[in-house]
Amino acid sequence: MYLSHLTLNNFKNIAELSIDFSPKINCFLGDNGMGKSNLLDAIHYLSFCRSFTGMTDMQLIRQGEDFTTAAARYMRRDTPEQLTLGITRGKRKCLKRGGKEYVKLSQHIGAFPAVMVAPRDIDLIQGPAEERRRWMDMVISQSDARYLDALIRYNSGLEQRNRLLRANIVDHTLYDAIENAMEAPARYIHRTRAEWINRLQTIFTRYYSAIAGSEADNITLRYIGALDASADGSLKSLLDRDRRHDEIVKYTSVGPHRDDVEMLLHSLPMRKAASQGQCKTFTVALRLAQYDFLHQATSIKPLLLLDDIFDKLDSNRVESIMNIVTGDEFGQIFVTDTNRDHLDSIMSHTGGDYRMWTVSHGSFTPTHSHPESE
């Protein structure tokens, strides 16, 4: 799959843009704050219906304007596809595929897979468990519609239960009805997350070793699932056990919404034991493993969005990443940087189609291209 053309209006600092992409490598050079990452975020939004940065829909609209639009043309499974997005202040967003609006935006997740690698990935190591759960959910949902449905049903039940707790309701019949409905999705979420982490560990270790080379470390991903603490593997037994406590604190304190992933270096937490370079290598390898998993699971090569990823990496590791992402296992790549040398290095690794733009104050100027036909 690749993105052939994108049109943007009033997206963040990009007033107007119409751009044709290389099916292989697209490089964007410019200072920080000029709009490079905003372009990648627009591409990310078209895959996930939300900003990678966590900004609200209204915050994506250019200052002083009332709406933002995006129109994108893809080649997916050898078939042309078109997505159009509209966000207007005071109204709900509208996403259309082939001119037909989605009834539920969740139906879109996974159809146009993408993987974003960015500086804020450090939050996967240093941030709260919520960051790692969000990461698991985002990746698994792109390849497993049943998982996404289980997640929606579980979260709906969780919110209902929390409303009862906040309202000081102690009718156990109501709790039982909600908790019984949460049981099946909770078990599926737990089982799927555990299986996914085990599968990802092997892929992740391979990429980490390929980047770190002879300096490869002993790195581990370990799933910490709430249901592991249940004697019978059920959510209900945990909720029954903790109900009195939950009534006091007024929220549900146990369940898959409290799961975590331990990220370890030589059996020690990465956030305490790892250097900046090791953390950066860890997160890049994690995202490349995510890419590999999605490719295997969907038979589609996702878009790979590399946003200013080379900071804090030595030249050998940068070289290793370049060798990996320009290989045949990867498809279309979008990469931003403030350093022309990094981008030249990327392009030197491919004899195929690539294009480069300089970016300044939301404007994109073509500076170099090498069509595959040349």
Q: What's the confidence (pLDDT) of residue 353? A: 77
What is the C-alpha separation between 57 and 219, in angstroms, rounded? 37
Q: What's the confidence (pLDDT) of residue 318? A: 84
Whether residue 312 has pLDDT greater than 90: no
Report the run of H or E that residue 5 belongs to, with start and end: strand 2-11
HSE-CB of 183 using CA atoms within 13 angstroms: 16
For residue 277, give the nearest of 318, 323, 307 by alpha carbon. 318
What is the C-alpha separation between 272 and 299, in angstroms, rounded? 37
275-279, 297-301, 355-359 — which is least confidently predicted? 275-279
HSE-CB of 61 using CA atoms within 13 angstroms: 15
Q: What's the confidence (pLDDT) of residue 374? A: 42
Residue 373 binned pLDDT confidence (cut-offs 50, 70, 90): very low
Domain map of the chain by residue range?
Answer: 1-113+300-374, 131-278
For residue 293, give the nearest of 123, 188, 133, 144 by alpha carbon. 144
Q: What ranges in 274-373 are assigned the alpha helix state H?
A: 276-298, 315-325, 340-348
What is the C-alpha separation between 76 and 114, in angstroms, rounded? 13
pLDDT tens-digit series, residues 250-265? 999 999 999 999 999 9
Under CATH, what is the fold of the domain 131-278?
Glutathione S-transferase Yfyf (Class Pi); Chain A, domain 2 (1.20.1050)
Tokens of 313: 């990496």
Q: Concatenated DSSP letters for 268-296?
A: EEHHHH--HHHHHHHHHHHHHHHHHHHHH
pLDDT tens-digit series, residues 267-295? 999 999 998 888 999 999 999 999 999 99
Decide: 327 and 334 in contact? Cβ < 8 Å. no
What is the C-alpha separation between 264 and 272, in angstroms, rounded? 9
The highest-confidence range among 204-218, 322-336, 345-359, by mean pLDDT, is 322-336
CATH 3.40.50.300 fits 1-113+300-374, yes or no: yes
Q: What is the pTM of this model?
A: 0.92
What's the whole-number average pLDDT of the chain?
Answer: 92
pLDDT tens-digit series, residues 321-340? 888 988 889 999 999 998 87
Ramachandran bin of 250, using left for φ above 0, alpha for ψ from -120 to 50, beta for the remaining angles: left
